[in-house]
Amino acid sequence: MYADNFLDSKLNDRKRLGLYRTLQVSDNLIDFFSNDYLGISQQKLLSFKDIEGYSMGATGSRLLSGNHAVTEHAEEVIAQFHQTQAALLFNSGYDANVGVLSCIPQKGDTILYDALSHASIREGVRLSFAQSFSFRHNDLQDLEEKLQHSKGRIFIVSETIFSMDGDFCPLQQLVALAEKYQAHLIIDEAHATGIIGEKGEGLTQHLQLQHKIFARIHTFGKAVGCQGAAVLGTKRLKDYLINFCRPFIYTTALPPLAVKAIIQSYTIFPVMQARRQQLQQYIQIFQQAKLPFQKLPSSTPIQGLIIPGNEQVKNVASILQENGLAVKAILYPTVPKSTERLRIILHSFNRVEELQQLLQLLSGFAKYS
């Protein structure tokens, strides 16, 4: 066996701090944890006829052998649906955020990003040569103070629905501040895609702000039920990314079959109004339920129950899992200390009885806080 015991010291630290991560299969549990908000991943998106001629290997990067007609078609479909000039596909939302943030802001520029931004945004910021500062979560005053001291070209980064709290960013006010300080907005729509707006077009279009945003990132691994992401913006932005964005350039492209599935999902999720309504009903039921935990205010499928302490929150999650419910504990350092939480995801396909079972079990816990 390879002598890699030098890895032990950090692993043991994690164990000592109760932060050790392991992989688990929860396939047979009732789903209150996946990002498959509308159940599209469980649907047969493509028939045998549809897949004929589409391979599971792109064969190369987009700039070499991996650019296929279906990929360009997908980008046209997505750009049109999201009312933008151009879309560029990425293998994941992680790649898209890392790529955009690491190659656009330059030395001497400033990136201001929400303190609760996703790890992929932070990673892109870390790789950029621009200076960067986080602003307090959704705190416009803090952002404005930082804007006043920003140098060079300024980029403001936020998410329309935050992945761990389930709340919205104040997009209209962010646009107003960006205009006031001539900053460029980069907006991650990962959790809003398929969910927000009449057709699931996302918050930006729902508020008719698409012409005010420099770059939007939509991801396909959540409500879209597939894999991958697109960066939306002008044709010039697309050309820039094709030339300078390393996670786009130096990787094998998405397989044509996966791209075909994305196109198919874009034909079905826009007409899933009934599923979006069902989801809203569940969200209301959950928000109105009396529970012995602090509930984060959220009108989205992401619902957080604060249970301070890694051990405490893990205990509650494992009791729910023993009762057949897939619910995940989110631990420090993924979220700030004392805000450890259960992250409960509601889906249009959850049955009312399943939701009631969840609420009943939660009600049975003594007050943790």
Report, as residue numbers or ranges, the catalytic residues. Answer: 35, 118, 159, 163, 188, 191, 222
193 near ligand PLP, judged by CB under 6 A: no
User: Phi/psi of residue 343, each to 5°?
Assistant: -105, 105
How far from each other are the two terminal CA atoms of the chain, in whole angstroms?
A: 46
Q: Decide if residue 118 touches ligand PLP (CB under 6 A).
A: yes
Q: Which stretch binds ligand PLP (CB under 6 A): 5-13, 173-181, 186-194, 282-290?
A: 186-194
- Using CB under 6 A, which of 109, 165, 188, 340 touches ligand PLP? 188
Q: Which residue from 110, 120, 138, 303 is in contact with ligand PLP, where contact means CB under 6 A?
A: 120
| Residue nearer to ligand PLP on the CB measure, 191 or 238 | 191
Minimum distance of ligand PLP from residue 119's CB (angstroms) = 8
- What CA–CA distance (Å, rounded) separates 263 from 260? 5
Could you please report the per-residue DSSP string of 211-262?
GG-SEEEEESSSTT-SS-EEEEE-HHHHHHHHHH-HHHHSSPPPPHHHHHHH
Nearer to ligand PLP, 120 or 132 (CB): 120
Q: Quick check: 269 binds ligand PLP (CB under 6 A)?
A: no
Q: How far is the CB of 190 from ligand PLP (least distance, A)?
A: 4
Task: Kindly identify the residues of this chain, within the stretch 7-36, that bind ligand PLP according to CB under 6 A.
Answer: none
Q: How far is the CB of 160 from ligand PLP (least distance, A)?
A: 9
Determine, following the binding rule CB under 6 A, whether residue 165 of this chain makes contact with ligand PLP. no
Write out the two tokens for 73.
Answer: 């078609």
> Applying CB under 6 A, does 150 fall inside the site for ligand PLP?
no
Residue 93 contacts ligand PLP per CB under 6 A: yes
Categorise residue 123: left if φ over 0, alpha if ψ from -120 to 50, beta otherwise: alpha
Q: Which residue is nearest to ligand PLP (CB)?
A: 93
Name the strand (E) or helix (H) holding 113.
Answer: strand 110-114
Q: How many residues bind to ligand PLP according to rule CB under 6 A?
A: 14
Q: List all residues 6 or more positions away from 117 whose beta carbon is below 8 Å from its beta carbon.
A: 125, 134, 157, 158, 159, 188
Residue (of 165, 109, 195) closest to 334 by Cα position: 165
Q: Which single residue is written with the structure tokens 């094709």?
A: 242
Print the binding letters for residues 203-242 with ligand PLP: x by CB under 6 A, - otherwise: ----------------x-x-------x-------------
Find the angle CA(69)-CA(95)-CA(117) to the nearest 5 degrees. 135
Residue positions counted in the chain: 369
Binding residues vs ligand PLP (CB under 6 A): 92-94, 97, 118, 120, 159, 163, 188, 190-191, 219, 221, 229
